[in-house]
């Protein structure tokens, strides 16, 4: 199948008359204006739960991944090794009508880190992080060390800092003085891994409110966390818009990078050497793209991951920059999405 785009493609304005909601509008905008850019520049090659149900049951991963009504089809890219360990549990509960919980396996530490998982654990984590509304990192007061695998997991959450919350669990096992020291040590450790000046919100968790600290603090922390969870449905629509805009900007930067690498390739001789030089100096090439198009450095993808994926491609087969596609995405961000927000309200307001 061949995709064809007319010369006036970027001038096609989005018609609100056929839209029924904000989410419906985002889906149509994606198909009309963003997806062509992603397909042309192979964006998806580079980016990589508890449910409500009528009865209590577990659904195997291979089954849930091909279920048309479930949002897990993208997990098939991680193979049978992952899907055989992925399981979906459902039960009837009012909360689960609005929220899906995803629980990850424990992160390896110490000598266990030498045991290789049979699937891309950080890749799966990154996949879920891009689609979720809230990320909870759980720590025990007696195990504050952040292992190498946990560091990789936290690094895979890059770009989703606004979703991250930290839970210091089992705090009922220590007294007030110990809690103060543990809290400080935790913030220090996280600061080194997250590389951000902003302080993460930390909730104090417990198993039984009978410890030396007392019941009142635990109950207030529990109420704050529950309040955060209850706000998820209300903020879901805003979150979808936010994620859509982030993806659009990421796809546009990706197109600039891919077309730049194509432009830097020689016409005839020395293509292999030129491609290897570009891969080796990828960080410098990112800098050139940033300066040429006046783009924020923080919006660029991870250099090491990008370099790893690039090694499987031939640069002179990449597409040249198509300004009309870029303009279509700019029009979508500048006009279509604001018009969509003016025409429809958040259904949870």
Same domain, 86 and 202: yes
Domain of residue 189, CATH code = 3.40.50.300
> Is 191 part of a structural domain of the chain?
yes
Q: Check residue 3 and give its pLDDT.
A: 38
In angstroms, rounded to a whole number, what is the distance separating the alpha carbons of residues 41 and 276? 20
Same domain, 192 and 160: yes
> Is 89 part of a structural domain of the chain?
yes
Which residues touch 112 (CB under 8 Å, ≥6 apart)?
A: none
Q: Which of 223, 243, 263 is the last residue of a domain?
A: 243
> Is 38 part of a structural domain of the chain?
no
Give DSSP secondary structure letters for 137-193: EEEBTTB----HHHHHHHHTTTT-GGGEEEEE--GGGS-HHHHHHHHHHHHHHHHHH
Q: Check residue 349 and give its pLDDT.
A: 55
> Which among 244, 237, 235, 261 is positioned nearest to 316, based on CA atoms?
261
pLDDT per residue, tens digit, the chain (349 aa), is 333 333 333 444 566 667 888 888 888 888 888 989 988 988 877 765 655 566 667 788 888 888 877 778 888 888 888 888 888 888 888 878 778 888 887 776 654 554 567 888 888 888 888 888 888 888 888 877 777 888 888 888 877 888 888 888 888 788 888 888 888 888 888 877 777 667 778 888 877 656 556 678 888 888 898 888 888 877 778 888 888 898 899 999 999 999 999 999 998 888 899 999 999 999 999 999 999 999 998 889 888 889 988 988 899 899 999 999 999 999 999 988 888 888 876 655 5
Q: Which residues constitute the domain of residue 223?
A: 49-243
DSSP helix/strand/coil, 109: coil
Say how many domains are in the chain.
Answer: 2
Give DSSP secondary structure letters for 245-260: HHHHHHHHHHHHHHHH
Same domain, 192 and 85: yes
Domain of residue 313, CATH code = 1.10.268.20
Same domain, 62 and 207: yes
Same domain, 99 and 142: yes
First to last CA, the chain: 43
Q: Which of 219, 243, 267 is the last residue of a domain?
A: 243
CB 23 within 8 A of CB 237: yes
H or E segment and range at residue 50? strand 50-52
> Is 41 part of a structural domain of the chain?
no
Q: What is the pLDDT of residues 167-222, one digit of tens each?
A: 888 887 888 888 888 888 888 888 777 776 677 788 888 776 565 566 788 888 88
Same domain, 296 and 326: yes
Same domain, 271 and 222: no
Same domain, 135 and 210: yes
Same domain, 102 and 133: yes
> Is 113 part of a structural domain of the chain?
yes
Same domain, 91 and 174: yes
Q: Check residue 156 and give its pLDDT.
A: 81
Same domain, 250 and 298: yes
Same domain, 19 and 112: no
Q: Which of 243, 267, 293 is the last residue of a domain?
A: 243
In angstroms, rounded to a whole number, what is the distance separating the alpha carbons of residues 187 and 207? 22
């Amino acid at each position: 199948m061949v995709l064809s785009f007319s010369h006036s493609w970027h001038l096609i304005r989005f018609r609100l008359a056929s839209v029924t909601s904000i989410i419906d509008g985002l889906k149509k905008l994606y198909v009309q204006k963003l997806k062509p850019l992603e397909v042309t520049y192979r964006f998806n090659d580079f980016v990589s739960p508890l449910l409500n149900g009528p009865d209590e049951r577990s659904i195997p991963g291979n089954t849930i991944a091909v279920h048309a009504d479930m949002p897990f089809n993208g997990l098939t890219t991680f193979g049978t090794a992952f899907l055989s360990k992925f399981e979906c549990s459902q039960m009837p509960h009012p909360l689960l009508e609005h929220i899906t919980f995803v629980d990850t396996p424990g992160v390896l530490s110490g000598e266990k880190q030498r045991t290789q998982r049979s699937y891309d654990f950080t890749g799966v984590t990154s996949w879920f992080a891009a689609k979720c509304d809230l990320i909870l990192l759980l720590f025990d007061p007696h195990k504050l060390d952040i292992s190498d695998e946990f560091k990789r997991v936290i690094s895979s959450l890059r770009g989703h800092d606004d979703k991250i919350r930290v839970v210091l669990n089992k705090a009922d096992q220590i007294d007030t003085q110990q809690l103060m020291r543990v809290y400080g040590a935790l913030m220090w450790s996280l600061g080194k891994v997250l590389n951000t000046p902003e302080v993460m919100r930390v909730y104090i968790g417990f198993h039984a409110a009978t410890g030396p600290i007392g019941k009142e603090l635990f109950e207030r922390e529990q109420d704050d966390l529950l309040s955060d969870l209850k706000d998820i449905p209300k903020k879901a629509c805003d979150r979808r818009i936010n994620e859509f805009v982030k993806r659009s900007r990421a796809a546009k930067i990706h197109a600039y990078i891919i077309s730049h690498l194509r432009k830097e390739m020689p016409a005839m001789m020395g293509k292999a050497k030129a491609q290897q030089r570009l891969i080796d100096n990828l960080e410098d090439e990112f800098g050139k793209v940033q300066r040429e198009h006046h783009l924020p450095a923080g919006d660029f993808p991870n250099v090491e991951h990008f370099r790893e994926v690039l090694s499987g491609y031939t640069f002179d087969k990449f597409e040249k920059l198509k300004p009309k596609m870029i303009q279509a995405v700019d029009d979508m961000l500048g006009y279509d999405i604001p018009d969509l927000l003016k025409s429809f309200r958040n259904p949870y307001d």
